[in-house]
Structure 1
Amino acid sequence: MVSRMSRAKAYASDFLSFINASPTPYHHVDNAKKLLLNAGFIELKERDSWAGKIERGKKYFLTRNASSIIAFGVGQDWVPGNGIAIVGAHTDSPSLRLKPVSKKSAEHYLQVGVEVYGGGLWHTWFDRDLSVAGRVFVSEGGSLVPKLIKINKPILRIPTLAIHLDRDANTKFEFNRETMLFPIAGLAEAELNKTEADSIATDVEAKADFEPLSSMTERHHPKIISLVAGAAGVPISAVRDFELILYDTQPGTFGGMSDELIYSQRLDNQMMSYCAVRGLIDSMADTEALAGDDTIRLISCFDHEEIGSESAQGARSNFLPSIVKRLSSLSGIPDEDLKASSIGSFYEQTAIKSFLISADMAHAVHPNYSARYESSHRPQMNGGPVIKINANQRYSTNSPGILLLEEVARISKTPLQLFVVRNDSSCGSTIGPALASLLGTRTLDLGNPQLSMHSIRETGGAADVEHACSLFSAYFNNYAKIEGTIFVE
């Protein structure tokens, strides 16, 4: 029998492989799709009719913008209007992103213009070995096709100023994000030695018919375009546009003297979204898992949480509500058997019978800044998921939700912790309040504890990966029988 300790190490190792292969939300969703497909999930298209396509006892997923994903399994006893057990998370993290016109140079250096995304600890991005990854649109067979690329070598760096020229740097490190956050991409002399392919691409673009925008090699350094084209496996002239995100080339790894920690970029929030995916998959690993279940098990991982979720693929969009509406009336029942007047009723019934766990990383107590934490709420790494509570509804947790989660944690033998911020401290928020408002669904906020949130190099607990996966799996497996015992009108 596998011990929980060895299980925890295996889960953490799998998570590290996942996060190292997922430098952007696009890669994150693509790798989640691979896990789901390998587990027997069937891909759906949001634009298609689902009439007759969804069957009880089967598993499905769909994506939006290739950066948000919803996956679900339909219980064998599901009927329209029943509840859905939901875990929501997000796929994005604070980052630097290439500007639409990124070509810059100064003092014989090649530089690239970047735009800040989210509320990052930007000083941690200095003196790191950086590269780019993202989504590239290329011309292929008369169509414009998206391709994921990841340049696997350091090509960018944002250097700090020498201490000799700034004696106050250790006491007050300040910088202008518009003028002092330009990564260096190389030396200008290297640009003079363009490859033959670069020259051909430039010549082709120069002879082209009228174009509404300047060419890619005018907007970006030709060498950048060459590297992107190589990573995409296409000619330079085929690169039409891209959305590129900077990432730290140092891979995530185990840390601490006993490998009890994880050091990595993007723990917030790839750890919780990974655990949501794994928890859903694990809950249906048994082929009979959906037998006797009258609920739907669902995860929703959204892009753009770090900037407020206000997008077509964010948590404040219609992505999850529209899927819940379709499932509430379509699952297992042909369209012709439904009265149009009943569809809205099914949706409202489903929403009120459902429950959402909003899964977003939490703050572990920092040993050097312990005074910043409320004295009775100091989460420890590897102490289990943290239930986040805020009286001002920055988090959506309330007592019925805590009691429900306690029952799930008792079944899975998962330790839980509680967290509130100090009254004299600001408080972040999550997708929880937004989705609770959109759906009218009972909601609880939780997340694994970590240090250095929004840094380019964060720290988490290795055992907490398995803690969250086991908790989510037990939640999906037991929601149907627990939900009815804890209900408030």
Structure 2
Amino acid sequence: MPTAAHRHALDLGRFVMASPSSFHAAHEGARRLEGAGFRVLSEAGEWPTAPGGYAVIRDGALIAWVIPDGAGPLTAFRILGAHTDSPSFKLKPKPTTGAHGWLQAGVEVYGGPMLNSWLDRELRLAGRLVTLDGAEHLVATGPLLRFPQLAIHLDRAVNEGLTLDRQRHMNPVWGLGNPVEADLLGLLSGLAGVKPADVGGYDLVVADAQEPAVFGAEGEFFASGRLDNLSSVHAGLAALVRAYEVSGGDAIPVLAAFDHEEVGSSTRSGACGPFLEDVLARIGDGLGATATERRRAFAASWHVSADAGHAIHPNYPEKHDPANRPVLNGGPLLKINAQQRYATDAAGAALWARLCAEAEVPYQEFVSNNDVPCGSTIGPLTATRLGIRTVDVGVPLLSMHSARELAGVLDPWRLALVAERFFAG
């Protein structure tokens, strides 16, 4: 295994651990970009138009871009889209619950997690608290929660089929005592350094506390939570920093890491919202573009929607297409679907093939078995909203939407290499 791939995987692991929520992922991405020389801007402030690297955060989403020397009103964009959220559980109002001497947390299912994969794990709570003055405070616990499974002695048929009721069974424990006398939000407020009475609202999710790991006979596997889709966000960050360092090319590279993909994207920080269009319009305005010139720039632009996809499962081969069977470490996926659940068409496939050839990276095609419904991504959403040509790609995984997913060590690194070629224009 190339050491570059291992270094990339280890850094991806550090990024995941620093990003237990979408809000943390956006801020960690911005922190890394600042360290590379980017300027983090406020949406409410004036934006510079000079060549350089810039970034802006909206809630749990991050958009960053590089204006190259010589950029003008008709300069096209090269956008890599991804998302910062993952299937999980979100803390409810009045979250301190419990009975029979246990302290529990009231949580609501977020997206489509594999419920059984969250059982018997040490888990964190992470996200943001917003105080009454409107200030946002990021907070993350260490190992705090656990969804304990019922012992087999009390459910002898569990191995014949496990059924989990989302309301009754998915209530994690976090301590012992009387819930009337406990205060989960008070604990979190203390970690954030604010008074519980000053907290006006919160967005807090559950995340796996286990460190990512490289393993396998030859160190070929990488296991981690939130690979769907922090593997793509991390690859985009690495490629964008490289584009900033090179500071060349005939296009404006953009990383658009949206929130809320797992619940439909219909929010102000999701791919259905106006965030990307707002940023692209302001970049165009700064370069002196008219409305017509902006549309001409869009017509010459490309969007690579990068989201994790499926590798063939050795124990369930019948769930996959008979001819297209991606494997771990076989290269990033080109994702295709006749119902346009992915936005890839022939032009996008040709672009991806050319980029992979230039990066000297193999790639694999993914298409669903006709009897298995296909998921979707931000690709069709962005293509529909902006009219920018789009191709859907991603890193192959096993155990997608598990609390801990499985990738190959080579594939996230290879995705970053191809993203570098894409950003080069």
TM class, shorter-length: over 0.9
Aligned partners of 1:280 and 1:121: how far apart in 2? 32
SS at match of 2:135: strand
5+ unaligned residues in a row in structure 1: which ranges? 195-220, 480-489
Kept in 2: contact 1:329–1:346 (CA 8 A): no
Kept in 2: contact 1:283–1:474 (CA 8 A): no
Q: Please report the RMSD computed on the Cα atoms of aligned residues, expressed in angstroms.
A: 1.7
Identify which of 321, 334, 344 aligns with 2:277.
321
How far off is 1:88 after superposition? Answer: 0.2
Given the alignment of the two structures, is residue 250 of structure 1 paired with residue 210 of structure 2, yes or no?
yes
> What aligned pairs does 1:157-236 form with structure 2 within 5 A after superposition?
157-188=146-177, 221-222=182-183, 224-236=184-196
Identify which of 357, 380, 383 aligns with 1:433.
380
Kept in 2: contact 1:134–1:245 (CA 8 A): yes
Kept in 1: contact 2:145–2:172 (CA 8 A): yes
Identify which of 111, 115, 120 aligns with 2:108.
115
How far off is 1:15 after superposition? Answer: 0.8
CA deviations on 1:101-139 (whole Å, 9 max, x unpaired) are: 112222222211100000110111111112211112246
Kept in 1: contact 2:27–2:57 (CA 8 A): no
Match of 1:442 in 2: 389
Q: Residue type of the partner of 1:133?
A: A
Q: Residue type of the partner of 2:103?
A: L
Q: Residue type of the partner of 2:165?
A: N
CA deviations on 1:191-221 (whole Å, 9 max, x unpaired) are: 68x7xxxxxxxxxxxxxxxxxxxxxxxxxx4
Match of 1:310 in 2: 266
Match of 1:297 in 2: 253
Aligned partners of 1:185 and 1:404: how far apart in 2? 50
Identify which of 120, 125, 129 aligns with 1:127.
120
Structure whose CA Rg is larger: 1
Match of 1:60 in 2: 54
CA deviations on 1:437-472 (whole Å, 9 max, x unpaired) are: 011111000000000000001101111121011110
Kept in 2: contact 1:81–1:345 (CA 8 A): no
Q: Residue type of the partner of 2:53?
A: K
Aligned partners of 1:417 and 1:42: how far apart in 2? 36
* TM-score, L = length of structure 2: 0.96
Kept in 1: contact 2:52–2:244 (CA 8 A): no
Could you tell which deviates more after superposition, 179-188 or 110-119? 179-188
How far off is 1:319 after superposition? Answer: 0.8
Kept in 2: contact 1:151–1:227 (CA 8 A): no
Given the alignment of the two structures, is residue 363 of structure 1 paired with residue 310 of structure 2, yes or no?
yes
Aligned partners of 2:259 and 2:96: how far apart in 1? 27
Identify which of 365, 378, 381 aligns with 2:325.
378
Which runs of structure 1 show a deviation greater than 6 angstroms over 4 or more consecutive aligned residues? none
Match of 1:476 in 2: 423
Match of 1:215 in 2: none
Aligned partners of 2:13 and 2:198: how far apart in 1? 33
Q: Percent sequence identity over matched residues?
A: 36
Match of 2:368 in 1: 421
Equivalent pairs counted in the alignment come to: 425
Could you tell which deviates more after superposition, 297-306 or 164-173? 164-173
Could you tell which deviates more after superposition, 444-453 or 34-43? 34-43
SS at match of 2:158: coil
How far off is 1:77 after superposition? Answer: 2.1
How far off is 1:236 after superposition? Answer: 4.5
5+ unaligned residues in a row in structure 2: which ranges? none
Kept in 1: contact 2:61–2:259 (CA 8 A): yes
Aligned partners of 2:82 and 2:204: how far apart in 1? 22
* TM-score, L = length of structure 1: 0.84
Identify which of 64, 69, 93 aligns with 1:71.
64
Identify which of 5, 9, 14 aligns with 1:8.
5
SS at match of 2:190: helix
Aligned partners of 1:324 and 1:133: how far apart in 2? 30
Match of 1:348 in 2: 295
Given the alignment of the two structures, is residue 456 of structure 1 paired with residue 400 of structure 2, yes or no?
no
Match of 1:45 in 2: 42
How far off is 1:229 after superposition? Answer: 2.7
CA deviations on 1:29-80 (whole Å, 9 max, x unpaired) are: 1110011101111122222343xx211x311111112x10111111212211
SS at match of 1:285: helix
